Amino acid sequence: MSRPAVPQQPLLTFPDAERSPLSIRAKALVFVDPRSRELRKEVERLAIRPAPVLIQGETGSGKELLARHIHNASERSGLFVALSCSGLGARTAQAELFGYVTAGQESTVAGRAGWFGSANGGTLYLDEIGDLSLGLQEQLLQALETGEVLRVGANRATPVDVRVVAATSIDLAQAVAAGKFSERLYQYLGDGLLSLPPLRERVGDILPMAEYFLGIHAQRLGLAFPIIGERAQRTLEAYSWPGNTRELENIIHFALLVSTGDEIEPRHLNLPGIGDPLALLESGFRQALAVDDASLRERLGRWLREASQRLEG
């Protein structure tokens, strides 16, 4: 039996308020490292299935970009609606997510439809799904399983055709074990699990991404396109990138603005430790401790101690 059509809602504003103003939305996925290329194959495979997807990855690693890519590759005709579950109001979350009806019908169309209804025919991206309350997790699962939502204040359920792509930066299996996340929803979403490795484990992506960000920011700002010098390249590859791709983009944007010649050098990279002599000495100490030869280790240690005393004095 075919379902009654649900009108498409003319929306949307994406909740971008928490994003760094420096960050721009990449138009392309830069996936060069062998691990990323494997992941890409998995993404293409999952994208064309109607099933939900769960993307697990550290903050800034590219989960939303991947979700957009999945939506585009799925050829679903509706909108891609991005929602951060951590941004939902404690008391209004249910109405925000599933919509509501009011006697006077004075609310806006978007308000009535809720995020779920707004993604009808398209994809609902639920960032940090672990932040959803257990009650809403159950309602979400029910909506996904039945293809219907019950708006707050409504007597009848409304049919919806929504594909969910959820994302998390925490290990949801642990949240399930701790009783904080619904096991059934985890199993439902986990059918399409994508694990996005942190940037430090995709070293082959670092320089191509750096070049890519340099290109788009240089073009946007009308600046000449400097090259990334050999030493700066090694520095970028050796850094641990706790903020992942978003941090890399910010570092490259900064380097573009502060470099004067036609080459980016390590001193242009605003990374912890670079240009800070005490931090350099600290890393020297660490390396000296690892030296096999005891007398050399002792001499290096003495020399480094003297140097740091001079610096501190």
Binding site for ligand ATP (CB under 6 A): 23-26, 29-31, 57, 59-65, 127, 169, 209, 245-246, 249
Closest contact distance (angstroms) between CB of 229 and ligand ATP is 22
Distance CA 313, CA 304 (A): 14
Q: Which is nearer to ligand ATP, 30 or 113 (CB)?
A: 30
Q: Which residues are within 8 A (CB) of 250 and not within 5 positions of it... i.e. 6 or more apart?
A: 20, 22, 23, 243
Determine if residue 6 is left, alpha or beta; phi over 0 gives left, psi from -120 to 50 gives alpha, anything else beta: beta
Measured from the CB atom, the residue of 84 and 158 that comes closer to ligand ATP is 84
Q: Nearer Cβ to ligand ATP, position 65 or 175?
A: 65
Helix, strand, coil distribution of the chain in percent, nearest 5: 50, 10, 40
C-alpha angle 51/55/60, rounded to 5°?
A: 150
Nearer to ligand ATP, 249 or 265 (CB): 249
Burial of 282 (0-12, 13-18, 19+ CB in 10 A): middle
Query: Token pair for residue 203?
Result: 């070293």
Q: Are 263 and 226 in contact (CB under 8 A)?
A: yes
* Minimum CB distance to ligand ATP smaller for 26 or for 110: 26
User: Which residue's C-beta sits nearest to ligand ATP?
Assistant: 62
Tell me how far, at minimum, the Cβ of 17 lies from ligand ATP, in Å.
12
Minimum separation from the CB atom of position 56 to ligand ATP (A): 10
Please state the closest distance from residue 240 (CB atom) to ligand ATP, in A: 17
Q: Minimum Å distance from CB 27 to ligand ATP? A: 8
**For ligand ATP, the closer CB: 218 or 300:** 218
Q: How far is the CB of 46 from ligand ATP (least distance, A)?
A: 16
Minimum Å gap between C-beta 257 and ligand ATP is: 17
**C-beta closer to ligand ATP: residue 152 or 203:** 203
φ/ψ of 5, rounded to 5, equals -70, 145
Q: Give SS3 for 265.
A: coil
Taking the C-alpha atoms of residue 62 and residue 55, their distance in angstroms, rounded to an integer, is 10
- Label residue 105 left, alpha or beta by phi (over 0 means left) and psi (-120 to 50 means alpha): left
